[in-house]
Amino acid sequence: MARQFDVPTFYKSPVVSTVKEARRIQDPRKKDLSPSILDFGPVRFKLARHFGFCYGVENAIEIAYRAIDETDGRRIFLLSEMIHNPHVNEDLISRGIQFLRTTTGEQLIPFDELRADDIVIIPAFGTTLETKALLSNIGVNVEAYNTTCPFVEKVWTRSEKIGSQDYTVVVHGKRYHEETRATFSHARSVAPVVVVRDLDEAHKLAAVIRGHETAGYFYEQFVGRYSDGFDAARDLERLGVVNQTTMLATETAEIGALLKRALFERYGNDGISHFADTSDTLCYATNENQDATRALIDHRADLAIIIGGANSSNTSHLVELCEEHMPTFFISGPESLISRAEIEHFDLHSYERKRTSDWLPTREPIDILLTAGASCPDVLLDQVMAQICAWYPSASEPDEALIPFLKVTA
């Protein structure tokens, strides 16, 4: 049986929890990716098969709230946002936790103001070896409340293993995301490292590997994204690809396949010894959520609503998948639903919040795809559905919409 975490009840939800439990009973092996349909009459919600808190997030939340209970008058800090969800982080701040850094690494509280008896929570993304050393030198126990996701630690372990075998580590990720900064730090302790953001950048790297571009081209294209002392003539001969666990898993696989082909073209049949298989580092939750979103899209709808923090990488990829097929709104929670005529949402392309009018079709019934990132509490989906249903006087009550699922859980 999967481990049960002690997550505060205010993050749970009566509607979504019922749906998830019914699907778990019906499909314990998680093979059925079809959406769950909640029919309220004039509006129908199609919920992704997988969404919301993953193992790593629930683990982090359990540790953080335990730390709050165990402060004993001591000061309590988070190295940076524990997870990328504003509702969770705001609640932690309201309980006395202070942030030492922003998500981009800007120092908010100098480390020299810390004391050895302070509690410092390491976020789910992990942190760099350098930061751990700084905190340890102060006397802070960095392991007491370390919420680093086990799947992130798995990436570090694999990186260090292939690095010790003379492979260069290629990280598919966003260079200045907390997790990628941490992975970069762990990997470069044993190997040369380079970060690629996407498939386009991987093609540029492959051109250097094939000999179609020069070392100078590499240094120009990847400035700030390779480890000190990186030698493009030497360090691109043997490679292994790992990822920031919140990236598109399919793109990580494509990047790996592309670089593997480039090595074969350069070294012929010997190319197989030049590439390390690291497919076992892909995060299960990222895969499940992305696969479930693709299945959700196949069932079509009038629009999609994706709930999560604007700086949540895993959530942004769900948005990218949906917006290729239908109007898609990336919101933080029910507060983004201003009215039936106006919605506030985050635009991934301009990196700005914007307001859109006439976002909700006037015809009835309408179908809405609904899913959320791995750091989003289920209760926010309940609240979003309730807010939208409130605009339809003839909408059914939740208990009626849940009848098919209650029959399973009874």
The string of pLDDT tens digits covering residues 75-132 is: 999 999 888 899 999 999 999 999 999 988 899 999 999 999 999 999 999 999 999 9
- pLDDT of 375-394, one tens digit each? 999 999 999 999 999 999 99
**What pLDDT score was predicted for residue 208?**
98
Q: Is 288 a catalytic residue?
A: no
Please list the residue range(s) of the chain that carry CATH number 3.40.50.11270: 55-138
**What pLDDT score was predicted for residue 40?**
98
Q: What is the mean pLDDT of the chain?
A: 94
Active-site residue (options: 81, 178, 179, 251): 179
From residue 300, give the alpha-carbon distance in Å to each of 45, 91, 111, 221: 11, 35, 50, 39
The C-alpha angle 91, 92, 96, rounded to 5 degrees, equals: 115
Structure token pair of residue 72: 């004993």
Percent of the chain with pLDDT over 70: 99
**What pLDDT score was predicted for residue 271?**
63
The whole-angstrom separation of Cα 236 and Cα 75 is 46
Strands, E assignment, 165-296 = 168-172, 193-196, 239-243, 275-276
**What pLDDT score was predicted for residue 239?**
96
Average pLDDT over residues 188-214: 97
**Has residue 44 got a pLDDT over 50?**
yes
Strands, E assignment, 282-341 = 303-307, 328-331
The top-level CATH class assigned to 165-281 is alpha beta
Which CATH code is given to the segment(s) 10-54+285-409?
3.40.1010.20
How many DSSP H helices and E strands does the chain contain? 14, 14
Band (pLDDT 50/70/90 cuts) for residue 1 is very low
- pLDDT of 10-42, one tens digit each? 898 999 999 999 999 999 999 999 999 999 999
Average pLDDT over residues 360-374: 96
Select from 187, 220, 202, 218 the least CA-distant residue to 261: 202
**What pLDDT score was predicted for residue 190?**
95
**Has residue 304 got a pLDDT over 70?**
yes
Which CATH code is given to the segment(s) 55-138?
3.40.50.11270
**Has residue 316 got a pLDDT over 50?**
yes
**What pLDDT score was predicted for residue 355?**
97
**Has residue 2 got a pLDDT over 80?**
no
**What pLDDT score was predicted for residue 5?**
85
pTM: 0.90
